[in-house]
Structure 1
């Protein structure tokens, strides 16, 4: 197993080779030294591969804990790319606006190889990159934060795509409404590195993927699943049961579509009361003075877990507590409010929850 630079050209070259059978398994490494070291620790490049069923090893983003090395086979990558094209209406050309050392970016390149089109890599201008595309069908993938920013200044370019796959985080109701109003075809996708990127589009599983539940926990089965965690057989055995991958997410079916409710660790006990953090966060996002928000449970000697709201905006703690209490129990209102100019983000486009939590402990 070899390390390759996490640049689009280097990853595309290595990926093309493993997909056609001429290359060896690889792990893409970001340029940032600290991030590169986390990848090396997760993928253990000097240790023999424990599975022949591995083409790429990706390090999870570690947004809420230690990064893990996720082994993906060539068959899983191809199955994901093929099912995506089937759902979107056929192969096309892809624009890459994200880093290819995360699964969302890697799969943009995989889809490009399968479709036979050279991917267009985002430069300084999104519009210029969109104009450079020559495929009959045009696709891209991004996180909600990118979509929201491009809606403000790149609307016509967004409208030119046949489909924009949105992953990495859930889309807010406000963002979904705005996308519909502006005539942009944005499709929310649910998935993760372990599922070979998005495996459920707009609540409906891709071809070959099945969804089930175990006491609210989302279970996934299908050909896009990873082969296991690098040198973590005990963890691999813990998350796989009878071919089903046991995610850390809670969900349910609503009108036959998957609705992700939150993570299993989104419920904390604060002062003896069970608090659903995602419900508090959703309520805060409804406040006109809050542009963005994340709610975490932070260890506290008095409360057990202290509910802390990190908000982009300046409504004030008391106002936000009252606003939350209008629709949720008063005991769910955040004990602490941290005002920020923006939420810290990982390169994957996810909020750096670990950094936020460490800043208030």
Structure 2
């Protein structure tokens, strides 16, 4: 395993060109080699990782490695190794759910080293339909809209940030587009409604690198409804994909059974310490996300990650739900243009205190809308329970984001502390 693995690590597959699908197909068929779809590690780090794996007694099958879009709690990186069989199971399940045919044209803007982008290619290979990789050097909603129209795309995958940008420009969905799979973050209900009003047929999804991309996705029937949004739970009703065999509670975690499970997991700490573990043995993974699962009807609602539910004054507070509430105020006060995140800081008396972070260069007091933000918060807090109130506002010059543009919330606190030390 060591030699071929070293080759794949020494030459990671980083796709930037329009014909990268042909190159990827060539590597995919080289079933004796492992593929490393991650451009972030240095040559030294790749060598260290290859040596670590070559010295283990793990199954020597060639792997396809992906970095997770989320980082570890200490700001490190984590990677998952799939077999070609597990990724194929996930891709076939997605094709079945989306009812793809040879007439489909998929345009992909997502990076191919991310499981979300890679899976769009594999689905097209297995489904026999057209796949066009159109990476933009810098994300541009107007350029993306032009590409979707010119290529007559029928399907694409986008993240909530990208939908926000398209809606902000008031761009109507291309007529050829029959569905947009949304992943990589929580889709705000207000944004969902605005996008639907412009003709964007959005299918919110719940997925993870560990399971080869999608686990559950809104049904195609939902594109013909006014909304799939569940008012009472601040979430969406999603249908399990065909390759998901079971989701059930087990010792406080959700056990997801599927042939699409990753096999190995590697974590790299900020100090560059490596650890490798066998991730699953029996085709099942355990997650701690907040889910509402209906096994009989094979549906679920994803409320957020467990670490996004915190205790304040002994009461549980969902940061996701609080963020959704605040977004409705932001939409009214700022037309939705204010970049913010709600985070929690440990507090000796309250357990946790809720802090609003703004993406702002310079002092908050110098913010052009300082007084309006103060008014917004006063009104917002007056309508929340005592333990749901935001106690202060902080700012950062720039939020740390993943390659898909998702804010890495678990790094904001340490990023803020670093900024304070620099000051």
Give the TM-score taking structure 2 as reference length: 0.72
Which residue pairs with 1:166 in the alignment? 182
User: Structure 1 residue 183 and structure 2 residue 199: aligned?
Assistant: yes
Gaps of 5+ in 1: none
Deviation at 1:241, TM superposition (A): 8.4
Deviation at 1:80, TM superposition (A): 1.7
Which residue pairs with 1:305 in the alignment? 352
293-302 or 345-354: bigger deviation: 293-302
1:223-243 deviation per Cα after TM superposition (whole angstroms, max 9, x unaligned)? 22211213856573xxx5864
Q: 1:222 to 1:115 in 2, by over 3 A?
A: same
User: Structure 1 residue 101 and structure 2 residue 109: aligned?
Assistant: no
The answer on whether the counterparts of 1:11 and 1:28 sit within 8 Å (CA) in structure 2 is no
Which residue pairs with 1:28 in the alignment? 37
Q: 1:185 to 1:52 in 2, by over 3 A?
A: farther
Taking the aligned partners of 1:294 and 1:159, their CA distance within structure 2 comes to 34
Taking the aligned partners of 2:45 and 2:170, their CA distance within structure 1 comes to 37
Taking the aligned partners of 2:151 and 2:401, their CA distance within structure 1 comes to 29
User: Structure 1 residue 358 and structure 2 residue 414: aligned?
Assistant: yes
Taking the aligned partners of 1:214 and 1:324, their CA distance within structure 2 comes to 37
Taking the aligned partners of 1:301 and 1:41, their CA distance within structure 2 comes to 42
User: Structure 1 residue 289 and structure 2 residue 345: aligned?
Assistant: no
User: Structure 1 residue 129 and structure 2 residue 185: aligned?
Assistant: no
1:1-361 to structure 2, matched below 5 A, reads 1=5, 2-3=8-9, 4-8=12-16, 12=21, 15-22=24-31, 24-30=33-39, 35-37=40-42, 40=45, 44-46=49-51, 47-48=53-54, 50-63=58-71, 65=73, 66-91=76-101, 92-116=104-128, 117-123=130-136, 125-133=143-151, 138-153=154-169, 155-156=171-172, 158-202=174-218, 203-209=238-244, 210-214=246-250, 217-230=253-266, 236=279, 240=280, 243-253=283-293, 256=297, 257-287=299-329, 288-289=332-333, 291=336, 292-300=339-347, 303-311=350-358, 314=370, 315-317=372-374, 319-326=376-383, 328-338=384-394, 343-361=399-417
Q: 1:88 to 1:56 in 2, by over 3 A?
A: same
Which residue pairs with 2:366 in the alignment? none
Q: 1:342 to 1:165 in 2, by over 3 A?
A: farther
The answer on whether the counterparts of 1:271 and 1:304 sit within 8 Å (CA) in structure 2 is yes
RMSD after superposition: 3.3
Q: 1:235 to 1:281 in 2, by over 3 A?
A: farther
Q: 1:339 to 1:318 in 2, by over 3 A?
A: farther
The answer on whether the counterparts of 1:96 and 1:105 sit within 8 Å (CA) in structure 2 is yes
Deviation at 1:37, TM superposition (A): 4.0
The higher radius of gyration belongs to 2
**Could you say what secondary structure the match of 1:155 adopts?**
coil
Deviation at 1:265, TM superposition (A): 1.4
Deviation at 1:93, TM superposition (A): 2.7
Taking the aligned partners of 2:392 and 2:385, their CA distance within structure 1 comes to 16
Give the TM-score taking structure 1 as reference length: 0.83
**Could you say what secondary structure the match of 1:183 adopts?**
coil
86-95 or 67-76: bigger deviation: 86-95
Gaps of 5+ in 2: 219-237, 267-273, 360-368, 418-423
The count of corresponding residues between Structure 1 and Structure 2 is 351
